[in-house]
Amino acid sequence: MSDDTTLLGKDDDGGRGAAVASGAITPAELDRLTEDIIAALKTVFDPEIPVDIYELGLIYKVDLSDDFDARIEMTLTAPGCPVAGEMPIWVEQAVMKVEGIKSATADLTFDPPWDASKMSDEAKMALNMF
């Protein structure tokens, strides 16, 4: 098994079954970390949009190593976003507040580019986009 578990992302079960089967983490701990990381990500906002980055769909994937190192793959609403240099730091700081996380690294990607279809229904409602 890889020593990374995808907590959030496009993988079938996110690697959750393999992580639990390896004994690296209990199902309850994996559930708690997933919920706590999502809650932490929801505290980070794009300053120009009154919706958190998780609901905006800016978080593409979160991997967690067996050593509890988190790697977050994220994007921005536009490559020229004025907080492009700061937002990954805000994400790392938010995830580092989760109990049990040893380190957090946020990597920016623009592939695929963000578009409004990535937003949750909650975000669309908040922005009157229905």
Write out the chain's pLDDT in tens, 130 residues. 345 667 666 555 555 555 555 667 888 999 999 999 999 999 999 888 999 999 999 999 999 988 899 999 999 999 898 999 999 999 999 999 999 999 999 999 999 999 999 999 999 999 998 7
Q: Provide the pLDDT for residue 87.
A: 96
CA dist 87 and 98 (Å) reads 18
Q: Provide the pLDDT for residue 130.
A: 72
**DSSP 3-state of 37:** helix
Buried/exposed code over 29-38 (b: 16+ C-beta within 10 A; e: otherwise): ebeebbebbb
Q: Provide the pLDDT for residue 66.
A: 86
CA dist 115 and 125 (Å) reads 16
* Beta bridge partners of residue 75, listed in sequence order: none
112 upstream amide cis, omega within 30 of 0: yes
Q: Provide the pLDDT for residue 19.
A: 56
Q: Provide the pLDDT for residue 24.
A: 72
Q: Which pTM value belongs to this model? A: 0.85
